[in-house]
Amino acid sequence: MAKFGVVLVSHSALIATGLKELVNEMNDGSVPVIDAGGADEGRIGTSAIKIMEAIESLSDCEHILIYADLGSSILSTETAFDFLDEELAAKCQIVDCPIVEGALAGVVQATMAETVEEVIQASEGARDAHKL
């Protein structure tokens, strides 16, 4: 059983898939990462059902961290939580950070962290990363 699992929620399936590829370059394989991007039939948007299924695929993890891109992806994620049983929903947390920098920092930290707080702190700290 993995300690931490990650779900990437984007309005674009391509962004979610690309971000998964990026973060897995820094992942030692100990953190399962699931992409849940796009709406049904390949449209731009989000799907609470896709997000719910991604979370359910990580049900063996102790903590499931969700990284989302825009406002309605948060709403879709919260709707997905409503579909989950209480025990699984209690393992889930939406991380408030920029999706690319935060997910990358979070996955790297999750490969060595002891606590979920350490992973969240690294993810949220990525907000202050300078690009120059």
Q: What are the residue boundaries of the structural domains of the chain, listed by start?
A: 4-128
Q: What percent of the chain has pLDDT over 90?
A: 92
pLDDT in tens, 54-106: 999 999 999 999 999 999 999 999 999 999 999 999 999 999 999 999 999 99
Length of the chain: 132
The answer to whether residues 26 and 109 touch, using CB atoms and an 8 Å cutoff, is no
Check pLDDT > 90 for residue 40.
no
Confidence (pLDDT) at 42: 84
For position 63, what pLDDT does the model report? 98
How far is 92 from 27, CA to CA, in rounded Å? 20
Alpha carbons 36 and 123: distance in angstroms, whole number: 19
Candidate list 11, 20, 50, 63, residue with the active-site label: 11
**Please, where are the H alpha helices in the chain?**
13-24, 48-57, 71-83, 86-90, 99-110, 116-125
Give pLDDT, residue 132. Answer: 78
**Average per-residue pLDDT in the chain?**
96
Q: How far is CA 84 from CA 40, 55, 64, 70, 78, in A?
A: 20, 9, 13, 22, 10
Query: Domain 4-128 sits in which CATH superfamily?
Result: Phosphotransferase system, mannose-type IIA component (3.40.50.510)
> Taking residues 12-32, what's their average pLDDT?
97
Give SS3 for 5: strand
4-16 confidence digits (pLDDT tens): 999 999 999 999 9
Q: What pLDDT, on a 0 to 100 scale, did the predictor assign at position 112?
A: 96
- Whether 11 sits among the annotated catalytic residues: the reply is yes
Q: How far is CA 46 from CA 1, 53, 70, 74, in A?
A: 28, 13, 10, 9
Task: Give yes or no for residue 1 having a pLDDT over 80.
Answer: no
Counts for the chain of helices (H) and strands (E), in that order? 6, 4
- Residue whose C-alpha is closest to residue 110's, from 89, 93, 130: 93
